Copies of this chain bind each other. A is one copy, B any other.
């Protein structure tokens, strides 16, 4: 039984309903680490260990999970170069992922502005 209320959604994607256009985007880039990883992949492809270094606080588990989600959503691609013990894997933005760059830039610019304007000030209040 499918709920009739599904019709009230504005968009559908992969069987899931969304409330408005921003909702679709947030489902793809929301979450604690997604934009951060995408941000570091923006310029160039990177290896697992490089990404880990850029995000000192991420656990290997979350890094692995988040990369897989981004891959499943088609935003990044994963390329294995050597399968034997000293493995080498590179992650890079797909074309779809690259379409996100202007969005990431806009978000980052605003975030930076907020951090510079409001950052640190409230710390000791």
Contacts and interface: CB of A to CB of B under 8 A. Distances in A.
Interface of A: 5, 8-9, 11-15, 18-26, 28-32, 35-36, 38-40, 55-57, 99-100, 102-104, 106-115, 118-120, 122-123
A103 B106 CA distance: 6
Contacts of A25: 35, 107-108, 110-111, 114
A108 to B, nearest CB: 4
B36 A123 contact: no
A23 to B, nearest CB: 6
Given A22-B104, A26-B35, 11 more contacts: A8-B57, A11-B115, A15-B122, A15-B123, A18-B115, A21-B107, A22-B107, A23-B111, A24-B115, A30-B30, A102-B106
